[in-house]
Amino acid sequence: MKLEMITENLIKLLHENHYNRETIRFYEREWNKIHSFLLDEYGDTVFEMERGLKYLEQEYSIVTRYNDGTLSQQRVQLLRVVHMLEDYRLHQVLTRRCYAAKNPITLNDTYSTVFKAYDNHLFISGLSVSTLKHYRRISTEFLDYITQLKLDTLSLINMDTCNSYIKTLAGYSFKTVEQKVCGLRHLLRFLYSSNRISADYAINIHMPNVSKSAKLPSSWDEDELKSMLAVIDRNNPIGKRDYAMILLACILGLRISDIKNLRFSNFIWEDKKLSIIQHKTHKPLTLPVPDSVGWAVIDYIQNGRPNYYETDFIFLKHMPPFDTIGDSNHMSQIIQRYMRKAGIDQRHKKHSGFHSLRHSAGSMLLELETPLPVITNILGHSDSNVTAIYLKTDLRKLKQCILSPEDF
């Protein structure tokens, strides 16, 4: 497809989707430069992804900087310039791979009504807050997608429609594809059960057999963990809170959602145990509390936690009105801050949030020859197939990650 045809239609879609004028001008400028590049380099204006990447490398050294980890976040937007062209060439839609608060997807009246019905269904589903957020976003994306395809009613959806939407997910990580496919299936099941579509297309949509073990989890080695923990100022209230939360993640393997939702009643101090209902799975979990973890939590409660007793949540914000930590705050910023303070190079550690600390707990348990079913229980996984991802890690390298709780 020629670049002129792609950009003409994309500009219309950008206007229809209420993109900022400056943003549209930015894309137009870059697309005009690509147009000149194609003529000079190839003598025609046929666009392909390979040509687009060659332009970015020649003009901005994008590929080189991406590979060596020096690509700035500001330059990442230039990748979007080319990806948008490729997505339209393949799918004839404006794929919404990034969002701005000032430019949300706006559904038409028909699909807005459908979304409200689905949202009500989600409200009573009992799913976790994070899952609800994912499903709402994915349903909005899919309804926007079929709107761009000029499918005015749900009755026009078929299996080809679903498959073509899934093809737009090319380039996302496996985890993101998994989330989006799960969300799509959930929406399709709702549409079928409420007689809005005539067939249950969800039963024919499956995840590819590349499994979660295709990508190894990020974990920390002993030196990295110790250096990060060492720079936390445990003499101030916020440092006491952060230290306790990080130990709960890297020693007990708790999810950040469960750490944020810990209450005083979850700790059974006389038995040195922690008992919770997991936020993600809604399943009960009871774990032993090592002394180092217990004393860190006690130190925060006694000497760091604001004197705010209108809630029994343990971990709070440290700015008035001292609310609980919100569902959308995954606290990754505190890990990144301490990594910077400790001089840990974040460019070569893809994950620098609480979940990477949880992976370290799983790896440590495996190296200590803990049976897989026990690790599955400790980490609160649904089954051992999920936990088996840790078996893909080189055990010899894992020896660097063995951390005794007493080391902290």
Q: Quick check: bond before 321 cis, omega within 30?
A: yes
Task: Tell me which H or E stretch contains 337.
Answer: helix 332-342
CB-CB contact of 53 with 133 (8 Å):
no
Which DSSP string do the residues of 50-76 spell out, in sequence order? Answer: HHHHHHHHHHH-HHHHHHTT---HHHH
pLDDT surpasses 90 at 385: no
Spatial separation of the C-alpha atoms in residues 156 and 160, rounded to whole Å: 11
Q: What is the pLDDT of residues 332-347, one digit of tens each?
A: 888 888 988 988 876 5
pTM of the model: 0.59
Tell me whether residue 314 is exposed, middle or buried, using C-beta atoms within 10 angstroms of its C-beta: 0 to 12, 13 to 18, 19 or more.
Answer: buried
Name the average pLDDT for the chain: 81
Q: What is the pLDDT of residues 204-229, one digit of tens each?
A: 987 655 444 444 445 677 778 888 89
Q: Tell me the percentage of the chain whose pLDDT exceeds 70.
A: 78
Spatial separation of the C-alpha atoms in residues 238 and 248, rounded to whole Å: 16
Spatial separation of the C-alpha atoms in residues 314 and 259, rounded to whole Å: 9
Short-list 406, 405, 393, CA closest to 366 = 393
Task: For residue 324, list its beta bridge partners.
Answer: 316
* Bigger pLDDT: 85 vs 359: 85
Question: Counting every residue, how long is the chain?
Answer: 408
CB-CB contact of 38 with 45 (8 Å):
yes
Q: Picking from 3-12, 47-56, 86-95, 359-368, which range would have the lowest pLDDT averaged per residue? A: 359-368
Q: What is the pLDDT of residues 244-289, one digit of tens each?
A: 999 898 888 888 889 999 999 999 999 999 999 988 778 888 888 8
CB-CB contact of 358 with 248 (8 Å):
no
pLDDT surpasses 50 at 234: yes
Residue 351: pLDDT band with limits 50, 70, 90:
low
- Kindly state the tokens that stand for 332: 């990754």
- Cβ partners under 8 Å of residue 120, min gap 6: none
Spatial separation of the C-alpha atoms in residues 94 and 71, rounded to whole Å: 25
What Rg, from alpha-carbon coordinates, does the chain have? 24
